[in-house]
Amino acid sequence: MSTFIVTLSALLAASPEEELRTQVPAARSILDAWHADEPSPGDRKFIIAYFTPADCDPAPQYRERLSRVLFDVQKFYLDEMRRNGFGDRTLRFETENDGLIRIHLVKGAKPKAHYKTESGREIRTECYPVLREAGVSPNTETLAIFCNLSDWDENAKTISQHSPYYAGGTHKSGTAWQCDSPILDSALIDRKEPIVQDGQYGRISLGKYNTTFVGGVAHEFGHALQLPHDAERQDQRALFGTSLMGSGNHTYGSERRGEAARSFLTLATALRVASHPMFSGSVKGFDSRAKAEAKNVEVVSRDRGFDIAATITADPPIYGAVAYMNPVGNSDYDSATATAVPDDQGRIHLECQSFRAGRPGAFKVVLLHCNGAISTPDELSFPYDVDGEGVVDLWAAKSKATLSALEKAIKSKKPDDAHAALERLRKEGASARLLEAAEVVVSTLKPAERVEPAAAEGPMLRLTDASSRQAKTGWGAPSVNRLPDESPLFTLGGRLYARGLYAHAPSVYEYAIDGKWDKLTAIAGLADGHSGTVVFVVTGDGKELFRSRTTRGETPVRIDVSVKGVRTLTLTVEDAGDGNGADWGVWLDPVLQREAVLRP
């Protein structure tokens, strides 16, 4: 069992230059040696499709414009991988005899008015026949689909878009949905004029428009390559600019207009993508499932943050590790990073200091396997709190060993072991919040008595205590007050919640409330440790009462909606149109309230 030791020390954290100087050669040594032993060269490329609706021709010069865009993004990745010390690793594309990038043209089945931002899956499916006819297996490749779903008025200089604009993937496959327009062209990034009116970003120069949307191509391509969001640390910002996988899509190429801001790849991003088969040129272990175990875990409080160390046993071997410190709010765009390379004993040591005062969050370590796969051991993930002075409270780390015993007992359905672990938490002086969550999850080991919402009395009713008329989830079985995960406890944005509904998209929880309640309150989001995209919807008698924006990362969605007169209340989680991978939606502390106790 891993042991967490919390003490104090006073060591200086490595500078960005020192990290590059020491970590990158060590990581490359491990990577190069593994791929050189029984090599398996590969030629993985980004497959590019162009989707235009049934009633539209492609935007003018789409092949020429998009080739310039893609070559520009390719050069950005190449330059940044070289700066980080990883050599000539970059994006790869198929090209035609004329030197332009091969783009598979797809005519949609429906008119332009039919397609919306949420139409990603539908558009992808409509691309399948053309791709397969060209010998492309869409489910085993990394795709980019440029959608001709913008409205440009040349005379008024106005533009708006209603295209899917998101991405996701693994080292084996992925999809990035992009928006094309007649003015999307990397050759225009340097233009300070004319000024265009964009439906999302307002009045901006033509160059700024292309900074945003060419930068968006670079950013979303990163997601298709398995890259999460990450923000530059303060010391990195001073040297390099804005992280591409943070807000760097808004500064991409700005230096071409004489602006100081520029975009860059963090060491965390470069380290991760270095092993992607498209970048490494190797498919060794392509289909191997990554396994990793963390032992002898130590957490040491230092300054305002902490160091974490562990011994890793892995197959395929790991060449690096990235820690993410994700504060609540702003999705995961604010996730700062720390990196490490294992020594010859498999020991990693991460220095974690980039925490935001007053903002709790979720901490996790992602292990990087030589074949491009990743893994996230539960022993290296935990929520944290940060006080107003910026000092981290490691409440979860301190109780990790006991929590692990509790979680194991819950998973194996052993009430005696669970109660013993609960008692140890009490003796360890665990916080009231942690104890409440532990007590609630232990109570799930015995059958619960549910209350009919329409018959319940009093001013409030927790939906976690209520009987549902229907409960369905997109993965696993519906679950109340526990997650079907390695850790059954609900955490969102680093904050622990005692009660909730597991709602992996697509999911439905339906309740017969018969007009007896006035208001629903809840907090919704993606459970910590899961990186999908979801939309939360509340309906009453079939009428939509609330719809969230697409939710990523650990951003809480706060719900406070009137349900007066509603007879059937339905809580739905949708997959945001990009598939339901990692879409671990949760409804936390969902409560029905009435303004006054209703009398019969």
Longest dimension (CA), the chain: 80
**What's the DSSP call for residue 150?**
E
Query: Given a cut of 80, is residue 2 above it in pLDDT?
Result: no
Query: Given a cut of 80, is residue 165 above it in pLDDT?
Result: yes
Half-sphere exposure of 290 (CA within 13 A, CB side): 22
Banded pLDDT at 405 (limits 50, 70, 90): confident
Q: What is the pLDDT of residue 265?
A: 99
Mean pLDDT throughout 260-268?
A: 94
Banded pLDDT at 598 (limits 50, 70, 90): very low
Banded pLDDT at 1 (limits 50, 70, 90): very low
Q: What is the pLDDT of residue 8?
A: 45
Banded pLDDT at 491 (limits 50, 70, 90): confident
Q: Is residue 198 classed as helix, strand or coil in its secondary structure?
A: strand
In the chain, the N- to C-terminal Cα span, in Å, equals: 56
Mean pLDDT throughout 268-288?
A: 98
Residue found under tokens 């497959």: 47
45-279 sits in which CATH class? alpha beta
Banded pLDDT at 230 (limits 50, 70, 90): very high
Query: Given a cut of 80, is residue 359 above it in pLDDT?
Result: yes
The two structure tokens encoding residue 353? 């200091």
Mean pLDDT throughout 502-508?
A: 98
Amino acid at 479: S
Across the chain, mean pLDDT equals 93
Is 369 in contact with 290 (CB distance < 8 Å)? yes
Q: What is the pLDDT of residue 531?
A: 76
Q: What is the pLDDT of residue 599?
A: 41
Banded pLDDT at 330 (limits 50, 70, 90): low
Which residues, 6 or more positions from 216, have their beta carbon under 8 angstroms from its beta carbon?
165, 178, 179, 249
Round to whole Å and give the CA distance between 350 and 591: 40
Banded pLDDT at 530 (limits 50, 70, 90): confident
Mean pLDDT throughout 518-543?
A: 93
Helix (H) or strand (E) holding 502: strand 500-502
Mean pLDDT throughout 580-585?
A: 91
Round to whole Å and give the CA distance between 600 and 598: 7
Q: What is the pLDDT of residue 556?
A: 85
User: pLDDT digits over 432-466, tens only?
Assistant: 888 999 999 999 999 888 999 999 999 999 999 99
Banded pLDDT at 6 (limits 50, 70, 90): very low
Matching fold, domains 45-279 and 460-593 = no
- Return the CATH superfamily for domain 8-15+283-394: Immunoglobulins (2.60.40.10)
335 or 85, greater pLDDT: 85
The fold of 460-593 is Jelly Rolls (2.60.120)
Mean pLDDT throughout 472-476?
A: 96
Across 421-486, where does the E strand assignment appear? 460-462, 470-472, 479-480
User: pLDDT digits over 126-153, tens only?
Assistant: 999 999 999 999 999 999 999 999 999 9
Half-sphere exposure of 253 (CA within 13 A, CB side): 28
**98: burial class by Cβ within 10 Å (0-12, 13-18, 19+)?**
exposed
Task: Work out whether strand 585-593 and strand 500-502 pair parallel, antiparallel, or are unpaired.
Answer: antiparallel
Round to whole Å and give the CA distance between 189 and 263: 14
Query: Given a cut of 90, is residue 337 above it in pLDDT?
Result: yes
Please calculate the CA angle 214-218-219 and round it to the nearest 5 degrees: 110
Query: Given a cut of 80, is residue 189 above it in pLDDT?
Result: yes
What ranges do the domains of the chain cover? 8-15+283-394, 45-279, 401-443, 460-593
Please calculate the CA angle 572-573-577 and round it to the nearest 5 degrees: 125
What percent of the chain clears pLDDT 70, i.e. is strictly above it? 95
Query: Given a cut of 80, is residue 553 above it in pLDDT?
Result: no
Query: Given a cut of 50, is residue 28 above it in pLDDT?
Result: yes
Q: What is the pLDDT of residue 396?
A: 67
Round to whole Å and give the CA distance between 581 and 571: 20
Is 449 in contact with 464 (CB distance < 8 Å)? no
Compute φ and ψ for 399, nearest 5 degrees: -100, 15
User: pLDDT digits over 47-100, tens only?
Assistant: 999 999 999 999 999 999 999 999 999 999 999 999 999 999 999 999 999 999
Q: What is the pLDDT of residue 570?
A: 98
520 or 299, greater pLDDT: 520
Query: Given a cut of 60, is residue 371 above it in pLDDT?
Result: yes
